[in-house]
C-alpha cells in the first residue's frame, strides 16, 4: 500500500497537457511547405513526447538525412512557438486533480524535457498551472530525464520536511528518472504511449488510466 504523497511532480506533454495536435501541426506545416505527405494524428500522437527530433524523424523517415536537420528543427520550433496553444488543452481530469492538490495543501511541480521558453509559454497560457511550486525544464540543468537530477532538484526546491514525492509521466525515461531519484513512479497510461503492454517492463510503482485515479491516495 502506497502512503499519501506529500508532493507530486508531473511531466508536462502527455501527462498534464495534451499538446500532440499542436506539435503535429508544426510538423505538417513543414511537410506541406516541402510538398511531402502529412502525418495523421493517430500516427504522430504517441511520438509527441519525443519533441521536435522525434516528430521530424517520423515525418521524414530515412529521407531526413538528406535535409539540414538543424534548419528543420528551428522551423519546427518557430512554428510551434507561434502556435503553441491552438489545439492544446488539459487532459480530462487534470483540472480536478490539481484543484484537489491545492485544496489538500499538497505542493506540486513540473519537470519536463521541453525547453524552458516553450514550457513557460505553455504554463502562462493555463492559469491553473501557474499554481505550481516549481518548474524544471529540459535546459534548466546540466542533465535532463532520464537522469534523476531534475527531479531531485525540484524536490529540493520544495523544501519538504519528510519527502514522499511522486513523479507522474508517460514515457519510460520518466519512470527511470523517478526510480533513480527514489520517488514513487507513476505511469500516465492515458498519455503518449505506443505499446501499453511494454510499460510492465518499466518497473513503475503505480499505473493510472486517468488523472482521477490519483484522488484515492489523498
Q: What are phi and psi of 7, to 5 degrees?
A: -165, 150
Q: Give the separation between CA 159 and CA 185, rounded to whole angstroms.
A: 20
Q: Are 134 and 8 in contact (CB under 8 A)?
A: no
Strand spans (E) along 11-123: 17-18, 89-90, 108-111
Query: Going by DSSP bridges, is the β-strand pair 108-111/134-136 parallel, antiparallel, or unpaired?
Result: parallel
- The number of residues making up the chain comes to 218
> What is the spatial distance between Cα 193 and Cα 171, in angstroms, rounded to a whole number?
7
CB 201 within 8 Å of CB 183? no
Closest CA to 170 of 195, 153, 152, 148: 195
78 is catalytic: no
Q: Please give the Cα distance from 91 to 213 (Å, whole number).
A: 13
The one catalytic residue among 11, 18, 50, 170: 11
Helices (H) and strands (E) in the chain, counts: 8, 8
Judge whether 208 and 188 are in contact, CB under 8 Å. Answer: yes
Active-site residues, by number, are 11
Amino acid at each position: 500500500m502506497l502512503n499519501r504523497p506529500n508532493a507530486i511532480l508531473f511531466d508536462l506533454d502527455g501527462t498534464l497537457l495534451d499538446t500532440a495536435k499542436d506539435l503535429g501541426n508544426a510538423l505538417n506545416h513543414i511537410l506541406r511547405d516541402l510538398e511531402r505527405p502529412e502525418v495523421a494524428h493517430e500516427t504522430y500522437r504517441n511520438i509527441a513526447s519525443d519533441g521536435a527530433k522525434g516528430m521530424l524523424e517520423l515525418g521524414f523517415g530515412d529521407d531526413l538525412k538528406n535535409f539540414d536537420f538543424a534548419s528543420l528543427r528551428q522551423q519546427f520550433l518557430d512554428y510551434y512557438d507561434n502556435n503553441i496553444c491552438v489545439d492544446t488543452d488539459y487532459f480530462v481530469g487534470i483540472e480536478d486533480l490539481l484543484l484537489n492538490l491545492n485544496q489538500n495543501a499538497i505542493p506540486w511541480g513540473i519537470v519536463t524535457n521541453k525547453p524552458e521558453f516553450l514550457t513557460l509559454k505553455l504554463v502562462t497560457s493555463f492559469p491553473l498551472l501557474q499554481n505550481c511550486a516549481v518548474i524544471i525544464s529540459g535546459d534548466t540543468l546540466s542533465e535532463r530525464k532520464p537522469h534523476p537530477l531534475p527531479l531531485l532538484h525540484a524536490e529540493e526546491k520544495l523544501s519538504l520536511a519528510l519527502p514522499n514525492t511522486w513523479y507522474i509521466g508517460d514515457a519510460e525515461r520518466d519512470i527511470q528518472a523517478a526510480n533513480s531519484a527514489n520517488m514513487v513512479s507513476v505511469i500516465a497510461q492515458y498519455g503518449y504511449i505506443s505499446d501499453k503492454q511494454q510499460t510492465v517492463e518499466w518497473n513503475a510503482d503505480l499505473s493510472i488510466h486517468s488523472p482521477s485515479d490519483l484522488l484515492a491516495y489523498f
